[in-house]
Amino acid sequence: MKRIFLFQMLIALFLCSNIVFAQETNTKEYKETEATVKKEIKEMYAKALKSEKTDKEEAITLYKEVVLRDSEFADAYLRLAYIYEKDVDGYDSASAAVSFYKKYLELKPKDFNAEMIKVKILLMEEKLKNIDKNSKIEETVVLKSVPFENTDVFDNVDLTEDYLKGRWVSDLFSLDDGRETWIIDIDVDSKEIKAKIYSVSAIARASLLRYFSQNQNGNSYLDALVTYNADVAIEDGELNFKYEIDHHYKPKTVAVTKGGSLIKFVNLFIKDGSTVSNLFSKLNDLEDGIHDAKATEWNANINSMEVHTKAFYEFNLTPVKAGLKGRVKIFREQEMEKGKNVLVDEKMECILFKVNPGYAGFTFARPVEDKEIIKRKTNTHKKLIDIYTKESKTDSNAMNDLGYLHLNCFYWLENSSTSMQYDSYWKKALSFFEEAAKQNNTVAMRNLALMYRRGLGLKQRDVVKAISLYAKAAELGDSDAMTELAALYLGNEHTDYEKAKELCRKAAEQGNSNALCEMGWMFTEGIGVAKNYAVAMDYYVEAANKGNTTALNAIANAYKNGYGIDRNYTEAFSLYMKSAKQGDRDAMYELSSMYLTGLGVEKDFFEAMNWRRRMFETAIHSHIGVSISAIPYNFIVYNNNDL
């Protein structure tokens, strides 16, 4: 018996040692693979450095491959910026250089050359504005009789293991930070196909993890996301898979007050057990207008109730040359104490694109402005306010511009400013516009109407008041007021197509490009007039030749979809590019999409992400759309050395 027992013990020890050995082997293999990838990236970077002297195009290609494989390889972004900076006469090169410099600073904010690079960025952005203006008059837009252009990017392809296996990302993305809605890893073996989904859905975003995961202990964004697994079925050459989310949480509705006054309500989705003090430590990190508050200075009332959310996602995708194309069905419902509520029930077009296995998703972080730049902006605005306050006593245009400066106060107030401070400046803007409007200043009337439309500085919106202000300015011959009033009549609140058509016609006769665009839209959609693509294109072309990017996009859209003209993706791409060079965000989005799919241009994932980044950067510099009489907006932001 003892011999048998000893024999069994020896067998058990042998098996255990084999298991440990297998685990050690797997870990070793993983580390060796990771080390190999890092070595390959470094070798590629070294090769790119050498290529800079002999073949810049090859160097650019290699550097782009480096950052695609390792999105945090800062030096590759810096080298790309140097290369593109040398070609500052071209808009694309200068814009790319700025983007790469910004990405480098995002990764290495404490670099010893950081201040010099920031100055470079400011100077190049100034040059971009000049290139921008010149690009508007490069050439006249003319409708071309181009042959019908078909494309094979959406042609079906055979499903193979090599085609399917790997990482895929969706064309759908968050308008908050550009992150792809889905990142999906597909694994294939001899028996089954598995999908691992990194979901960036609304439910996933409810977690505060998205604010605190990046650059923390070396973790990537993906490490913070919940993953879901799905079995992939193939039926008639179509991939089908689905996953569900069953989520219980308690939203904390925080009424934030200071000195007894309500500042704002903030909804946070956090784990149970969070205290008020650590709530505020997190609040101070969010871009919600509450940055420098100390927890002891604030009070919060937290109301909690259990929320049960269920979500269901089903993908039906066909393999094509561009990627996996099809639809995703989304159903989401929320159950609370009062019962169930269906939040989403729809089908959406969707394309998945294959990317490098190391790609961790698009990243756009709103840049934090240097304190010195904020100080310069603030000083500039204050000096401008002093100048125009003096002039406003005898000049209604100066009075209007005072309103503009106060309405766009978020450009020069410190980031710690609260919504209450913004509101106080908006109230001042309202009074300045009102005073200028009394002097029959039509620009001020339009600005005042805009504030009433949006409810800025007011307790609530007043569209009727806005209409009366637009109408008065229109009677005084202001074509912009005619166009904006027409846009209101084309909307859902005070619809009147006949009035809209007459106002647009009058403004168009004065050469107003926005009115020409509105007329083009009415004939495109058949709103208030009989649908007529040919007439619509005439209006769009005239508006485009006046520098109107909305019209350029409309013509590009006609070429892309074959609306009243032979479809031609190459021509569409060219027009979107022209519009994007003038700073149009919609055109930037279209360029990103076309680079992703390969429509009208060679497929280039790097360029697609580059244009997406530019789109978000452009959004940072957008401002409330009021009109100014004398102040050049670019001067306010940058050229303040003359004051």
Mean pLDDT throughout 275-296? 40
Q: State how far the Cα of 448 lies from the Cα of 626, in Å rounded to an integer.
A: 9
Six-digit token pair at 160? Answer: 């193979």
pLDDT at 166: 92
pLDDT at 110: 73
Mean pLDDT throughout 248-274? 47
Residue 466 backbone dihedrals phi, psi, to 5 degrees: -60, -45
Angle, CA 267 vertex, CA 264 and CA 272 arms, to 5°: 135
The DSSP 8-state label assigned to residue 208 in this structure reads T
pLDDT at 162: 87
Q: Which residues contact 232 (CB under 8 A, 6 or more apart)?
A: 186, 192, 193, 194, 195, 239, 240, 241
Lowest-confidence range among 20-24, 353-357, 581-585?
20-24
Q: State how far the Cα of 505 lies from the Cα of 497, in Å rounded to an integer.
A: 12
Residue 182: name the closest of 285, 68, 311, 308 by CA.
311
CATH 1.25.40.10 fits domain 37-135 = yes
143 pLDDT higher than 80? no
pLDDT at 452: 93
Q: State how far the Cα of 437 lies from the Cα of 444, in Å rounded to an integer.
A: 5
Q: State how far the Cα of 115 lies from the Cα of 118, in Å rounded to an integer.
A: 5
Q: Please, are residues 508 and 519 in contact by the beta-carbon 8 Å criterion?
A: yes
- Per-residue confidence band for 137, with pLDDT thresholds at 50, 70 and 90: very low
Six-digit token pair at 484? Answer: 């904006």
Residue 153: name the closest of 555, 577, 574, 569 by CA.
569
Q: Please, are residues 528 and 500 in contact by the beta-carbon 8 Å criterion?
A: yes
Mean pLDDT throughout 54-75? 83
Please write the tens of the pLDDT for every residue from 180-228. 888 899 998 877 889 888 876 543 443 434 443 444 444 455 555 667 8
Residues facing residue 341 across a β-bridge: 334
Q: What is the CATH number of domain 161-250+305-355?
A: 2.40.128
3 state DSSP class of 317: strand
Asked whether the domain spanning 547-630 has the same topology as the one spanning 37-135, the reply is: yes
Of 620 and 227, the structure prediction assigns the larger pLDDT to 227
**238-249 and 166-170 beta bridge pairing:** unpaired
pLDDT at 67: 82
pLDDT at 577: 95
Length of the chain, in residues: 643
pLDDT at 448: 94
Classify burial at 67, counting beta carbons within 10 Å of its beta carbon; exposed 0-12, middle 13-18, buried 19 or more.
Answer: buried
Per DSSP, helices labelled H in 285-395 are 371-391
Domain coordinates in residue numbering, the chain: 37-135, 161-250+305-355, 252-303, 547-630
pLDDT at 533: 92
Q: Please, are residues 84 and 94 in contact by the beta-carbon 8 Å criterion?
A: yes
Which amino acid is it at 329? K
Q: State how far the Cα of 252 lies from the Cα of 302, in Å rounded to an integer.
A: 6
237 pLDDT higher than 70? yes
The DSSP 8-state label assigned to residue 148 in this structure reads P
Write 126-135 long-range contacts (CB < 8 A, 24+): 126/634, 126/638, 126/639, 127/88, 127/94, 128/91, 128/94, 128/95, 128/98, 129/634, 131/89, 131/90, 131/91, 131/94, 131/581, 132/91, 132/581, 132/582, 132/583, 135/91, 135/578, 135/581, 135/582
Of 224 and 630, the structure prediction assigns the larger pLDDT to 224
pLDDT at 264: 45
Inter-CA distances, 542 with 137, 545, 548, 555, Å: 13, 5, 9, 11
Of 609 and 198, the structure prediction assigns the larger pLDDT to 609
- pTM, two decimal places: 0.70
Angle, CA 185 vertex, CA 181 and CA 190 arms, to 5°: 150
The number of helix segments (H) and strand segments (E) in the chain equals 24, 12
Q: Please, are residues 245 and 310 in contact by the beta-carbon 8 Å criterion?
A: yes
Q: Please, are residues 325 and 317 in contact by the beta-carbon 8 Å criterion?
A: yes
pLDDT at 361: 82
636 pLDDT higher than 50? no
pLDDT at 72: 83
Residue 64: name the closest of 612, 605, 597 by CA.
605
15 pLDDT higher than 50? no
Q: Please, are residues 164 and 185 in contact by the beta-carbon 8 Å criterion?
A: no
For residue 78, what is the enclosing H or E element? helix 74-85
- Per-residue confidence band for 451, with pLDDT thresholds at 50, 70 and 90: very high
CATH 3.30.70.260 fits domain 547-630 = no
